[in-house]
Amino acid sequence: MLRLSGIITAVLLIIGCAGTEPSYPKWYTKIHSDTEQYAYGVREGSTKEEAINNALNEIASKIHVSIESTSTTTTNLKINNDEEDYSKDSTQTVKNSVEKIEFSNYEVKKMKKLSDNKYIVWVSVDKHLNAKLLLSKIDTDIQRYYQLLNSEHKNPISTVKKYNSAINKIRDRNLVDCSIVKDFSPNSGIDGRVSKLLTAQKKMAKYQSNIVFSVKGDKKEYQDVLVKAISSRGFRTTDGSSNITISMSVKEKELKVLGNNILKSKIHLTVKSDGTVIGQTRISVGAKSRTGYKQAREFTLRNFEKRLKEKKIIENLLGI
């Protein structure tokens, strides 16, 4: 009886030990308040890298600064042969909030492995050092942007490529870095840099809006979809002469299968700048309808519009 009791006790101890959670050190459970110089993050993860990233994301979540910019395209009216031609005016407010931040410098103060798939970490970020490093990067980029603006623009498509890349970097990286600097070092003079970045961005966007695309095609419905897609990306279109030409040829095939009216379209796009081909692509889209081929075409045009957007067809053709 005593022997049986001992066995039961041993089994219970084993079960109890198996279910015991690993103990957390004091540095992990303690609240680490940020100081004037350092920001802290304490998190866990299934790997060392994940734990560090989670800790850095905790620090990033404390930064709530956002950058706002407003870009305006003015309305122009031209009268040719008694016909009025308008370029529509549009105002867009862009808010660039800090969502995912990459820090230039951080230190892992403590790390512990609790199990095979559980790590805990304590990370610190030197605010002043990060602000200094980011300011240096921002200043270098600002200098490059203004050199680009002051350079001679001979090839429209080449300039669009460079400007588009710069606009995206200003929006997605530089303004985010400015937010970090403003939060970490409020007296660093970052507002002046933000102003210069937004001015450069506005000038590049204005140049891009002056680049005119002519869209030529053998089927107006498809041509209208392409014009809409180009316009939505900040470019102007015309039926006359232009800097850049996009030619479109469409071949449709109608099929009848099990009571469905099926339309299949093969679309060939060619982009030329100053008479030189700079990009070509083929797109296959289609749709079906029990009502008729007219509705199948409407569905096909929607699929064409969706494909242009999701696959970034225009961006790929232009190399931007």
Tens-digit pLDDT profile for residues 39-92: 999 999 999 999 999 999 898 888 865 554 433 333 333 434 444 343 343 333
The answer on pLDDT for 265 being more than 90 is: yes
List the one residue out of 92, 90, 89, 105 whose CA is nearest residue 39: 105
CATH number at residue 262: 3.30.160.150
The answer to whether residues 170 and 245 belong to one domain is no
The answer to whether residues 223 and 307 belong to one domain is yes
Question: Residue 33 falls within a domain, yes or no?
Answer: no
Indicate the SS3 state at residue 100.
coil
The answer to whether residues 201 and 219 belong to one domain is no
Question: Residue 88 falls within a domain, yes or no?
Answer: no
Residue 271 tokens, joined? 């982009």
Residue 211 tokens, joined? 């680049």
Question: Residue 30 falls within a domain, yes or no?
Answer: no
Stretch among 52-56, 67-71, 243-247, 312-316 having the lowest mean pLDDT: 67-71
Q: What percentage of the chain exceeds 70 in pLDDT? A: 81
What pTM does this model have? 0.62
Across the chain, mean pLDDT equals 81
The answer to whether residues 224 and 165 belong to one domain is no
Question: Residue 52 falls within a domain, yes or no?
Answer: no
The answer on pLDDT for 253 being more than 50 is: yes
The total number of structural domains in the chain stands at 2
Instruction: Choose the final residue of a domain: 180, 209, 238.
Output: 209
By residue range, what is the domain housing residue 198?
128-209
Band (21; pLDDT cuts 50, 70, 90): low
Which residues lie closer than 8 Å to 215 by C-beta, 6 or more apart?
Answer: 223, 226, 227, 230, 237, 245, 246, 248
Question: Residue 161 falls within a domain, yes or no?
Answer: yes
The answer to whether residues 183 and 268 belong to one domain is no
The answer to whether residues 197 and 218 belong to one domain is no
Q: What is the dihedral of CA 94, 96, 97, 98, to 10 degrees?
A: 170
According to the model, what pLDDT value does residue 66 have? 52
Residue 167 tokens, joined? 């606009």
Question: Residue 27 falls within a domain, yes or no?
Answer: no
Question: Residue 281 falls within a domain, yes or no?
Answer: yes
Instruction: Choose the final residue of a domain: 209, 242, 257.
Output: 209
The answer on pLDDT for 273 being more than 90 is: no
CA dist 65 and 181 (Å) reads: 10
The answer to whether residues 246 and 167 belong to one domain is no
The average pLDDT across 277-301 equals 91
The answer to whether residues 187 and 264 belong to one domain is no
According to the model, what pLDDT value does residue 71 have? 39
Alpha carbon of 251 to those of 74, 215, 260, 266, 317: distances in Å? 38, 17, 20, 5, 20
The average pLDDT across 85-106 equals 51
The answer on pLDDT for 20 being more than 60 is: no
The answer to whether residues 314 and 218 belong to one domain is yes
The answer to whether residues 235 and 204 belong to one domain is no
Instruction: Choose the final residue of a domain: 163, 182, 209.
Output: 209
Band (279; pLDDT cuts 50, 70, 90): confident
The answer to whether residues 244 and 311 belong to one domain is yes
Question: Residue 7 falls within a domain, yes or no?
Answer: no
According to the model, what pLDDT value does residue 303 have? 93
